[in-house]
């Protein structure tokens, strides 16, 4: 679990984060959403320690990261997996070498054990035959899966995903969402996803934090977001007529189900 308590961050006179508080639960996909400039990236960088907040606390399972010394932070960061927006693979390395990179840096495992661990995580993301391929030889979706494999190879307690579906087609995006959700649940990881993808919000949004101009504007889950009454949030998630029509249809379906359930209750009395 990661707790964010009253986090504030400014650059000069510009306030970027204005008292953000939230609890990111373990075993859940915690999504941070908002328009460009809302503070999503700065908040994420504060959580992982790339930026120092001006005020507030960031607690990893109860331990405040901000007063930690360099050694303590290094130990903490070894428990954090990162999936970058562009996958950030090394072009000169094979898939296997890319995934092994964190093990080479932070693990005392033998080479044979490192290779075994790499095989395990590549199998987990359905890339059994990709070990010797280079990034230029695989698709965008496969690169994302390699990035996920590298992010989890050290058995992290916390997983951060920055726009995991950026540049992917809708079908591949759904596969990546499903994989992130499965890994989060199976390994009981605290996962934080920064995204603009409304499909991701609806599919894996166990917990959603919506930021607007540096403040937490709304908080809930992917079931509650359909019925939210926040005008700014609705403009953000239902920006097109197509999405608004989809929302209206979903609400009618839900109302119909509620009405049918009530009628059934009456019949059973």
**Residue 24 scores a pLDDT above 50:** yes
Q: Are residues 209 and 263 in the same domain?
A: no
Is residue 22 in some structural domain?
Answer: yes
Q: State how far the Cα of 75 lies from the Cα of 22, in Å rounded to an integer.
A: 24
Say which CATH number the domain at 210 has: 3.40.50.300
Is residue 231 in some structural domain?
Answer: no
Residues 262, 241 contacting (CB under 8 angstroms):
no
Range scoring the smallest mean pLDDT among 91-95, 181-185, 194-198, 212-216: 194-198
> Which tokens is 137 given?
């030889």
pLDDT of 260 reads 52
- The count of domains in the chain is 2
Q: Are residues 218 and 247 in the same domain?
A: no
What sections of the chain are H helices per DSSP? 40-48, 70-77, 95-106, 111-124, 140-152, 170-186, 198-204, 231-237, 241-268
Give residue 115's Cα distance to chain centre.
27
Domain that holds residue 261: 238-269
Residues 4, 49 contacting (CB under 8 angstroms):
no
pLDDT of 257 reads 54
Q: Are residues 249 and 210 in the same domain?
A: no
Mean confidence (pLDDT) of the chain: 88
Residue that wins the pLDDT comparison between 175 and 252: 175
Q: Are residues 206 and 258 in the same domain?
A: no
pLDDT of 248 reads 56
**Residue 144 scores a pLDDT above 80:** yes
Q: Are residues 32 and 123 in the same domain?
A: yes
What's the whole-number mean pLDDT along residues 2-7? 97
Q: State how far the Cα of 11 lies from the Cα of 65, in Å rounded to an integer.
A: 21
What is the torsion angle, in degrees rounded to the nearest 10, for the CA atoms of residue 158, residue 86, residue 107 and residue 123?
Answer: 90
Residue that wins the pLDDT comparison between 51 and 265: 51
pLDDT of 268 reads 38
Q: State how far the Cα of 154 lies from the Cα of 126, in Å rounded to an integer.
A: 18
Is residue 67 in some structural domain?
Answer: yes
Q: Where residue 197 falls among pLDDT bands split at 50, 70, 90?
A: confident
Please report the DSSP string for 215-254 in residue order.
EEEEEE-TTTGGG---HHHHHHHT-SHHHHHHHHHHHHHH
Query: What pairing do the DSSP bridges indicate for beta strands 2-11 and 14-24?
Result: antiparallel
Helix (H, G, I), strand (E, B) or coil at 190: strand
Q: Where residue 236 falls among pLDDT bands split at 50, 70, 90?
A: confident
Q: Are residues 147 and 263 in the same domain?
A: no
List, for residues 148-166, the tens digit of each pLDDT value: 999 999 999 999 999 998 8
- What pTM, to 2 d.p., does this model score? 0.84
Q: CA dist 168 to 126, 140, 203, 235, Å?
A: 17, 7, 16, 24
> Which tokens is 77 given?
């960061």
Q: Are residues 128 and 94 in the same domain?
A: yes
């Amino acid at each position: 679990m990661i707790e964010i308590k009253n986090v504030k961050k400014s650059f000069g006179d510009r306030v970027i984060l204005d008292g953000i508080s939230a609890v990111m639960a373990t075993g859940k996909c915690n999504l941070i959403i908002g328009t460009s400039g809302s503070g999503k990236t700065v908040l994420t960088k504060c959580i992982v320690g790339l930026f120092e907040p001006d005020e507030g606390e960031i607690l990893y399972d109860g331990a405040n990261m901000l007063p930690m010394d360099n050694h303590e932070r290094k130990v903490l960061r070894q428990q954090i997996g990162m999936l970058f927006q562009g996958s950030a693979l090394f072009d000169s390395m094979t898939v296997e070498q890319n995934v092994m990179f964190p093990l080479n840096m932070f693990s005392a495992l033998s080479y044979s054990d490192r290779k075994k661990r790499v095989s395990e995580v590549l199998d987990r993301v359905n890339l059994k035959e990709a070990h010797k391929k280079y990034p230029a030889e695989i698709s965008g979706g496969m690169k994302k899966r390699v990035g996920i494999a590298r992010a989890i190879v050290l058995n992290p307690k916390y997983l951060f995903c920055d726009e995991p579906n950026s540049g992917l087609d809708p079908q591949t995006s759904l596969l990546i969402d499903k994989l992130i959700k499965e890994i989060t649940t199976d390994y009981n990881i605290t996962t934080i996803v920064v995204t603009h993808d409304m499909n991701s919000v609806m599919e894996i949004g166990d917990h959603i934090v919506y930021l607007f101009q540096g403040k937490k504007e709304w908080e809930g889950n992917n079931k509650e977001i359909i019925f939210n009454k926040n005008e700014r949030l609705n403009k953000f998630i239902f920006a097109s007529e197509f999405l608004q029509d989809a929302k209206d249809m979903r609400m009618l379906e839900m109302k119909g189900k509620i009405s049918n359930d009530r009628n059934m209750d009456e019949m059973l009395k």
